[in-house]
Amino acid sequence: MAKKKKKIGIGVIGTGGIANGAHLPGYSAIPDMCEIVALCDIDPAALKRTAEKYNVKNTFEDYKDLLAMEEVDAVSVCTPNYVHMDPTVLALKAGKHVICEKPIAMNAAEAKLMVDASKKAKKILQIGYCSRFSRSNQLLKKYIDNGELGDIYWARAQSLRRRGIPGWGVFIDKSKQGGGPLIDIGVHILDLTLWMMGHPKPIAASGVTYAKFGKRSDIVGFMGQWDYKNFTVEDFASAIIRLDNGAAIMLESSFVANIPEEVHNSTLCGTEGGAITNPLTIVKEKLGSLQTFKPEYPGGDINVYHAEIKDFVECILHDKEPLVTGEQGMMVAQCMDAIYASAEAGCEVKID
């Protein structure tokens, strides 16, 4: 009789918003494939609350103790950006697979250490770019892979909040977060756009960043009240990124902007068609006319976080490459580095 494959033992480092809102419910939804065996947080109250909710007995305030557990086969890194690289590299060195939240790290140098550690250990490093898993984005990718858009030569990636400075966590602290909306939400739409375009290599970026609102006390907050005296990141960023196939991406992201509505969308312009991702709309010329249509599919949308976590566990169980790889996460980090450097220098910056 074939030996039954054991369940994957999961450890979660950081038990805040994304762990409770995405990773832990995601693992709990597939109890036949995995079991949450350990949790870690430096905040004892958050740790206790989460351990009680998910009935997890092993809790640690130091992630090295969690990584020492043999029962832990795989780890979710759900800590703030400045605590992505260390636990990920140590987990990979300890022989664990890792799904690390986005952005991969504070910068591309850290990202490279993570990717190298994953290659050396021959363990999975997946990054939390969950938007790729939505049904509409999966469908658009099928259209693109089928040649329906032809050669995509230009894209506009926008993630624009009107009044959305997070009032919790470390999202306004450059030393712990690496930047503002660009590295927090801009990375999601940039990753999605690069994926849709087939990951041509970014070769240069020219960017601008502004901090016009975050330091002011008179600006309303739709995502809680932040500490305006300690706001050290940008609140708006825009860049043009050149790609090695001659294509380009115009990227825009904001926590605050005086615009009539929020925009979270990628616009893709190809030689045989175009598309926007949100709501999925495709444009094509046919029989001397221009068609603009919204593809419909049965079953509605899915929980992208559950899909992402299931993909991670399935990749471990079946020795597959994840949809979102460490290398692709590093590509986004290289763009972030170049955009911030370009904004500082006031000129285009090359990406090696």
Ligand X SMILES: NC(=O)c1ccc[n+]([C@@H]2O[C@H](COP(=O)([O-])OP(=O)(O)OC[C@H]3O[C@@H](n4cnc5c(N)ncnc54)[C@H](O)[C@@H]3O)[C@@H](O)[C@H]2O)c1
Binding residues (CB under 6 A) for ligand X: these are 13-18, 40-43, 46, 63, 78-81, 83, 101-102, 128, 130, 169, 184
* Residue placing its CB nearer to ligand X in the complex, 30 or 170: 170
- Cis peptide bond prior to 103, omega within 30° of 0: yes
Distant-in-sequence, close-in-space partners of 299: CB < 8 Å, separation ≥ 6: 135
* Residue placing its CB nearer to ligand X in the complex, 36 or 349: 36
What's the CA gap between 278 and 351, in Å, rounded?
29
* Residue placing its CB nearer to ligand X in the complex, 92 or 282: 92
For 162, the token pair is: 């009107």
Backbone φ and ψ for 223, nearest 5 degrees, come out as -125, 40
* Residue placing its CB nearer to ligand X in the complex, 46 or 204: 46
* Residue placing its CB nearer to ligand X in the complex, 43 or 145: 43
Count the Cβ atoms, other than its own, within 10 Å of residue 138: 15
What's the CA gap between 199 and 245, in Å, rounded?
10
- Smallest distance, Å, CB 131 to ligand X? 8
Backbone φ and ψ for 71, nearest 5 degrees, come out as -70, -15
Do residues 89 and 117 touch, judged by C-beta distance below 8 A? yes
* Residue placing its CB nearer to ligand X in the complex, 143 or 235: 235
CA dihedral 196, 333, 248, 188 (to 10 degrees): 40
What's the CA gap between 84 and 343, in Å, rounded?
25
What's the CA gap between 242 and 336, in Å, rounded?
13
- Smallest distance, Å, CB 174 to ligand X? 14
What is residue 348's three-state secondary structure? coil
* Residue placing its CB nearer to ligand X in the complex, 46 or 240: 46
* Residue placing its CB nearer to ligand X in the complex, 215 or 264: 264
- Smallest distance, Å, CB 270 to ligand X? 27
- Smallest distance, Å, CB 298 to ligand X? 26
Report CA 70 to chain centroid distance, whole Å.
28
- The residue whose Cβ lies closest to ligand X is 16
- Smallest distance, Å, CB 14 to ligand X? 3
* Residue placing its CB nearer to ligand X in the complex, 281 or 303: 303
Backbone φ and ψ for 301, nearest 5 degrees, come out as -90, 170
- Smallest distance, Å, CB 6 to ligand X? 26
- Smallest distance, Å, CB 241 to ligand X? 20
Per DSSP bridges, beta strands 263-270 and 274-277 are antiparallel
For 251, the token pair is: 């990227």
Count the Cβ atoms, other than its own, within 10 Å of residue 69: 16
- Smallest distance, Å, CB 229 to ligand X? 20
- Smallest distance, Å, CB 122 to ligand X? 25
